[in-house]
Structure 1
Amino acid sequence: MSAPAGRDRRSLPVPDGLDGMRLDQAVSRLFGLSRTAAATLVDAGDALVDGAVRANSHKVKAGSWLDVTLPAPVAAPTVVPQAVPGLRVVYADDDIVVVDKPVGVAAHPSPGWSGPTVIGGLAAIGHTIATSGAAERQGVVHRLDVGTTGIMVVAKSESAYSALKRAFKYREVDKRYHAVVQGHLDPLRGTVDAPIDRHPTHDYRWAVVSGGKPSITHYDTVEAFPSASLVDVRLETGRTHQIRVHFSTLRHPCVGDLTYGADPTLAARLGLDRQWLHARALSFLHPGTGEQVTFVSEYPDDLARALAVLRD
């Protein structure tokens, strides 16, 4: 039986390492799908075990035969020039453009995101970005979460893209964040060295997972309040949601970060509808001149107001 047009049918035995795993989790692991996408596929009868339709909760056995019909690939999102209110260009030349990113803006287009992007905003005001990288994220050498504000650099020239990618890879960029976390850290200054990967059961979340990618976060308490602490954070690595995951793992989530266990009552008292996390400063060797450059971003209004409430 052939797969429907545009879809890909795969047949393979269950590897020994997946013996005893739920069917939806096994499909997710084998084909790089999100847990939700894998469960949807199983529910639709597109994942057969030894020729039979099974439930998501079915425990697969090593050597059993899987017949999986994968969904048609999603077309890569494209960059659409779109003015982004609040997006401020801090510095620009022929090699780089440094922006102060507002809340609610993604770094680049991605499947499922229809909101504004840094790349689209730069295109709307006439900045030509390097063509290196995947089509939807050309010129992007690092990212900030949609709900995280602050300093971000984008490459304009191909040589700058290569130099910055290398600098980020080899940890030659000083990335400083400020975060307000719940409670008081013990010790007040420290390092979190814990591997991060996708959360095993929750889509769109990440977690400290054995065998995940190495992730290192240094922190130093700047100011303590009765219910929270302002911390200066330096990243050695740049994993998705790294700061949020690491502080949540310490049981001191970023204030307002309900996704990672923050107290909604405290968030409401401070008027926050996102995590208190800000990309405060970025320092690196300019890819064109070779000189050390540093860019700093002030707190946006919502974070500054929340901090003022904590200080009262």
Structure 2
Amino acid sequence: MRKIINNSFDLEYNETKKGRLDAFVSEQVEELTRSQVQNFIKDGAILVNGQAVSKNGYKLTTGDKILVNVPEEKPIKAIPENIPIEVVYEDDDVIVVNKPQGMVVHPAAGHPDKTLVNAILYHCQINDDDVIRPGIVHRIDKDTSGLLMIAKNNLAKQSLMKQLKEKSNLREYLAIVHGNFKEKSGKITAPLARSKNDRKKQAVVEGGRHAVTHFTVLEQFENYSLLKLKLETGRTHQIRVHMQYIGHPVAGDPLYGPKHTLPGKGQFLHAETLGFEHPRTHKWMEFSVEPPKNFQDTLTHLRH
């Protein structure tokens, strides 16, 4: 049983077997991750039968009443920070940047600063009412490198978002994945939604959001392959989940791949090519950047 009262969750444990407090709360309250629940327990914000408990593994029994008091989040606002960024193209309407691997795109809980948005705001002015994601029309994961287009004003933002919705832009990636292929190319059509087993993950789920990825095999090595991937849709973790789904997870992927993989931190996934119609001139713009050094060094190692 779950009731929401203001900023609190009122739960009751009705299982016959004893269960861990942190596991139960994180399962019942989809809005919270397990690590957040554990922090709330540590801070005394979760009560069992009216008493604060300090252990994540506190054992619940049938009939226990749990009150989860969610602290009010401090407002997040992106502020300019002097962080170097690689600008590939810039004019009065758009800016295209090559995001390094390891950088988060915009501020969020757990990443309030040192993001790409903080760097962009220091570099130039963005006229957008969104104080957390100014100019952001699409994202790539923290450990994915490569090209992002950012709108500098309302006209550009509406145009770029429309192109994304209509699938008229171009987004191509390079990836090193596990295993070899019999076919030279393929198309993956599999709907995506949040995983029912792990809320940090996405999964192929019947009834999920329509998702399509095209792939072409560029090179094959012992136990690995280099792919070019083209996004037809842009769902969260789309390439990573789709490649896992067909049995070829991205090398180094900490969420969807095997633990023993190529040396390096983060997945070997790079947004290589980006194309779009310019919001004001309506001319087709297309940009490509090489993958980062660790990606190229790994390819050299695999080739030899």
Q: Same fold (TM over 0.5)?
A: yes
Structure 1 equivalent of residue 18 of structure 2: none
Pick from 218, 226, 243 the counterpart of residue 239 of structure 2. 243
Question: Residue 171 of structure 2 contacts residue 275 of structure 2 at CA under 8 Å; is this kept in 1?
Answer: yes
Describe the SS at the equivalent of 1:260.
coil
Aligned pairs for 1:51-70 (under 5 A) are 68-70=67-69
Amino acid in structure 2 at the alignment position of 1:188: K
Question: What is the aligned partner in structure 2 of residue 129 from structure 1?
Answer: 126
- Alignment partner, residue 262 of structure 2: 267
Is 1:256 the equivalent of 2:252?
A: yes
> Counterparts in 2 of 1:74-113, with a 5 A limit?
74-85=73-84, 87-113=85-111
Deviation per CA, 1:92-135: give whole Å up to 9, x if none.
Answer: 1111000011112111111101552111112222x1113144x2
Instruction: Give secondary structure in 1 for the equivalent of 2:249.
Output: coil
TM-score calculated relative to the size of structure 2: 0.82
1:66–1:236 distance in 2 versus 1, CA, 3 Å: farther
- Aligned match of 2:227: 231
Contact 1:76 1:111 in 2 (8 A): no
Partner residue of 1:18? none
Which residue matches 2:17?
Answer: none
User: CA–CA distance in 2 between the matches of 1:195 and 1:59?
Assistant: 38
In structure 1, the partner of 2:160 is 164
Superposition deviation, residue 78 in structure 1: 1.8
1:144 to 115, 140, 144: 140
- Code of the residue aligned with 2:110 in structure 1: it is G
Tell me which protein shows more helix as a share of its residues: 1
Shift of the 67–259 alpha-carbon distance from structure 1 to 2, 3 Å rule, reads closer
Preserved contact between residue 93 and residue 279 of structure 2 (Cα < 8 Å):
yes
Structure 1 unmatched runs, 5+: 1-5, 15-21
**How far apart, CA to CA, are the structure 2 residues paired with 1:36 and 1:201?**
15
1:192 CA displacement: 1.5
CA contact (8 A) 2:45 2:70 kept: no
Query: SS at 2:183's partner residue?
Result: coil
Does the CA-based 8 Å contact 2:78-2:113 persist in structure 1?
no
Aligned partner letter, 2:188: V
Whether the 8 Å contact between 1:180 and 1:254 is mirrored in structure 2 is yes
User: Is the 1:131–1:138 Cα contact (8 Å) retained in structure 2?
Assistant: yes
How far is the alpha carbon of 1:11 from its aligned partner? Answer: 5.9
Q: CA deviation at 1:141?
A: 0.2
Q: Judging changes above 3 Å, is the alpha-carbon distance between structure 1 residues 244 and 203 closer, same or farther for their aligned structure 2 residues? A: same
2:145 equivalent to 1:153: no
CA contact under 8 A between 2:177 and 2:251: conserved in structure 1? yes
TM-score by length of 1: 0.80
Distance 1:284 1:57 in 2: 55
The equivalent residue for 2:176 is 180
Matches of 1:153 and 1:122, distance apart in 2? 11
Cα separation, 1, equivalents of 2:239 and 2:186: 13
Q: Which amino acid aligns with 1:165?
A: M
Residues 146-166 of structure 1, C-alpha deviations (whole Å, 9 max, x = no match): 111111010001110111111
**Structure 1 pair 74–273 and aligned structure 2 pair: CA distance change class (3 A):** same
Please, what is the CA RMSD of the aligned residues? 3.1
Unaligned runs of 5+ in 2: 14-22
* CA deviation after TM superposition for structure 1 residue 23, in Å: 4.3
Residue number in structure 1 paired with 2:190: 194
Of 276, 279, 287 in structure 1, the residue corresponding to residue 268 of structure 2 is 276
Change (3 A) 1:217 1:129: same
Partner in structure 2 of residue 307 of structure 1: 299
210-219 or 164-173, larger mean C-alpha shift: 210-219
Tell me how far apart the structure 1 counterparts of residues 58 and 191 of structure 2 sit (CA, whole Å): 28
Distance 1:214 1:38 in 2: 32
Q: What's the counterpart of residue 24 of structure 1?
A: 25
Which piece of structure 1 moves more, 33-42 or 151-160?
33-42
2-structure distance, mates of 1:148, 1:309: 20
Matched to 2:108, the amino acid is S
Secondary structure of the corresponding residue to residue 190 of structure 1: strand
Following superposition, the deviation at residue 81 of structure 1 comes to 1.8
